[in-house]
């Protein structure tokens, strides 16, 4: 339970840091957010808990494939906000598009033998 609490606190601190920096310097906050810090921490925790190279390799590969369909969200959000659409509707719409792209990615990847 202590290990879980440490993981949660460290991950939360990174997210809070991104929000804090983003208030003062949006580009700097975006840079920190774009770093794969949470992915790296996840891989460290997974390795620490399992020490299974195959499991970690599968995790890293799946993370790569799941990043791709999430990227359009970062173009949809600014476009919608700049056209005057409210934040919550923008977030909901971009989230739904991302979910649909995730599902499409899973289906397309399967056709090429990539199991996600």
- 32 with 78, same domain: the answer is no
* The pTM of the whole model exceeds 0.75: yes
Question: Number of H helices and number of E strands within the chain?
Answer: 6, 0
- 17 with 59, same domain: the answer is no
Contact 78, 91 (CB under 8 A): no
pLDDT in tens, 17-38: 999 999 999 888 888 888 888 8
* CA atoms within 13 A of residue 63's CA, in its CB half-sphere: 14
pLDDT values of the chain reduced to their tens digit, one per residue, 116 residues: 888 898 889 888 988 999 999 999 988 888 888 888 889 988 999 999 999 999 999 999 999 999 999 999 999 999 999 999 999 999 999 999 999 999 999 999 999 998 88
- 109 with 61, same domain: the answer is yes
- 115 with 63, same domain: the answer is yes
Cα 22 versus chain centre, distance = 17
Q: Which domain holds residue 31?
A: 1-51
């Amino acid at each position: 339970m202590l290990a879980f609490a440490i993981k949660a606190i460290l991950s939360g601190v990174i997210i809070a840091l991104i929000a804090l920096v983003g208030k003062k310097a949006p580009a700097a906050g975006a840079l920190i957010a774009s770093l794969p810090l949470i992915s790296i921490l996840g891989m460290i925790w997974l390795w620490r808990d399992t020490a299974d190279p195959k499991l970690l390799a599968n995790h890293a590969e799946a993370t790569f494939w799941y990043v791709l369909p999430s990227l359009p969200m970062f173009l949809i959000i600014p476009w919608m906000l700049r056209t005057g659409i409210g934040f919550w509707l923008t977030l909901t719409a971009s989230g739904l598009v991302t979910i649909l792209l995730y599902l499409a990615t899973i289906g397309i990847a399967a056709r090429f033998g990539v199991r996600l």
